[in-house]
A and B are shown apart, each in its own frame.
Chain A
Amino acid sequence: MIKQLTILSGKGGTGKTTITASFAALAEGVVVADCDVDAPDLHILLHPKPIRTVEFRGSKLAAIDQTKCARCGLCRDKCRFNAITGELKVNPFACEGCGVCALVCPTGSIVLQERISGHVYVSKTERGFMVHAMLAPGEANSGKLVALVRQNARVVAEREHASLILVDGAPGIGCPVIASITGADVGMIVTEPSISGIHDLKRALDLLAHFNILPLVCVNMYDINSENTERIMDYCRMMGVEVVGRIPFDPVVTEAMVNAEPVIEYSPSSDVAQQLGRIWKRVYEVVMEKG
């Protein structure tokens, strides 16, 4: 059975990608999947070389044949997304590709066209396989693209006899995040000791509970506010959620990023790296024991 661990956070910028990259460097026999398809950054640290590219045709777009159009305006009236302008042109940013305009058009002038809204890459890194993607700027349907990334990661994991898929998720709790925790055995939430971090941690924990996924919590930059870190520890204790570790604030993390390396390789003796090593050991244990 291939396990899946998703790193998520609710709040952005808490350190998901930094931590995922170090986990990827520490792990053996894992396939890494970058599911933050809006703003994927993991490739900056892991340097994947694409071996296969898959086109993503996630969403459709209405196209009006102006030569056939009788200019009745019915499409504009029936579109609930205000995606058809006064001049009866399609606004590609507003169009959700539902097809209502094509349905109501009396002259049959509207068709839905598939658009290539991104790409999925199956790649090799120095340490193993990685699946990542790029959503075309401004495209919708990032949830579908995340599903496609995960699906490809699973195929690679099966072929390579990998034991674990390590997923770097997107911030938030909406569609792409839901798509990246689907099928996960464990969700590790990376938080920080700020009131925003705590607020967003609670919502991310609720999300994992909603989908019945075992939660773990990791507190990053814990020494920025020790009092808030205690509040997080207390809250997790109360909720019966394991806190797998605390990582101190250290500029070495940014230095590693500028050097395009996982911090655990850039500075293996740093306190951050030591903590990450310990945390990974525990997380791996929990994921592998589960189920």
Chain B
Amino acid sequence: MIVSIASGKGGTGKTSVAVNMALSIENIQLLDCDVEEPNDHLFLNPIVDQIEPIYSLVPKVDDELCDRCGECGRFCQYNALYVASDRVLVFPELCHSCGGCLLVCPRKAITEQRHKIGVLKRGSAKGLELVWGELEVGEPMAVPIIREVKKSIGIYENVILDSPPGTSCPVIETISGSDFCILVTEPTPFGLHDLKITVEVLKQMNVPFGVIVNRADIGDRKVHEFCGEKGIPILLEIPFSRRIAELYSIGVPFSEVMPEWKKRFHVVFYEVENLVK
């Protein structure tokens, strides 16, 4: 079963839920798809056994063959090519690697070359495999890194995907193909607002979902009311606790110190399995 952990708002506790849940289940792989700011490894201190660069393909223009006709620049939807009078300028950060410029060039003057956009890391800790990606600072596109991370799916029976915050392309890329998505939120106006947006995305994607309410006793009851009205299952409530916040701050998964939570996460995971069936 593939379960993704997501939330529109940042800092609601995705990483905490993903890590603690992964530690509560057997035969599991944890993939950290928040490649802009991957944090799961900070809580697991894995022994890293593989580091691989990740490249995207970007156009390379042969100035000898190119006659500056401008077809590539007109075709590119992302403004990654600018055809000047004496040469073609390529902006690798804007390129989506669609390969269209190669196809459109009448003189076959364009080939592709690799452009490093990040790294993939693989390690193991506390009986689970952790795979994560790291976007290179200054590179805008997280999606190709997430695709690489997700290529590791398939070896283990269970997979947990830790999504980046938000609702746009990196989140869609992470969640697509999941059997279930757990939305982590907090009972505040910000939490509720961003939860509503994320629910719309999941409905469109046709991925079943449930909610974990973190810091469940702060704020108000409107998240609970919303879930009740919409028939969205609340899978777990985690109260605010200074102890949990302190453990988080030093990078200790709280279920390691408070083992009753391992059972709770275990139960949630199997509840999700029943919902998927």
Contacts and interface: CB of A to CB of B under 8 A. Distances in A.
Given A103-B75, A195-B251, A199-B39, A13 B11 contact: yes
A241 interface: no
Contacts of A225: 246, 249-250
Nearest to B104: A103
A49 B189 CA distance: 18
Contacts of B188: 254, 257-258
Nearest to A96: B96
Contact of A97 (B77, B165, B193, B201): B77
Interface string A111-125: 010000000000000
Interface stretch (A38-46, A149-157, A267-275, A281-289): A38-46
30 contacts: A10-B37, A11-B11, A11-B39, A12-B12, A13-B10, A13-B165, A38-B166, A38-B197, A39-B197, A41-B193, A80-B98, A96-B96, A97-B77, A99-B75, A99-B100, A100-B99, A104-B103, A135-B167, A138-B201, A140-B169, A172-B34, A173-B137, A174-B36, A174-B139, A195-B42, A195-B249, A196-B42, A203-B36, A210-B137, A225-B249
Contacts, number: 192
Given A80-B97, A207-B138, A176 B219 contact: no
A141 B168 CA distance: 8
Pairs A-B, 7 closest by C-beta atoms: A13-B11, A12-B10, A38-B166, A98-B98, A175-B140, A172-B36, A194-B249
Interface in A181-213: 192-197, 199-200, 203, 206-207, 210-211
Interface residues of B, number: 58
A194 B141 contact: no
A142 B166 CA distance: 10
B141 A174 contact: yes
B29 interface: no
B50 interface: no
Given A11-B37, A14-B11, 6 more contacts: A38-B171, A80-B99, A175-B142, A178-B140, A194-B250, A196-B39
Given A39-B197, A138-B204, A195-B249, A200 B100 contact: no
Interface string B93-107: 000111110011000
Given A103-B104, A137-B197, A175-B141, A39 B165 contact: yes
Interface of A: 9-14, 17, 37-39, 41, 44, 60, 78, 80-81, 93-94, 96-100, 103-104, 112, 135, 137-143, 170-179, 192-197, 199-200, 203, 206-207, 210-211, 224-225, 228, 251, 254, 257-258, 260
A141 B79 CA distance: 13
B200 interface: yes
B9 A137 contact: no
A255 to B, nearest CB: 9
A39 B166 contact: yes
A39 B10 contact: yes
A10 B135 CA distance: 12
A229 B17 CA distance: 24
Interface in B130-159: 135, 137-142
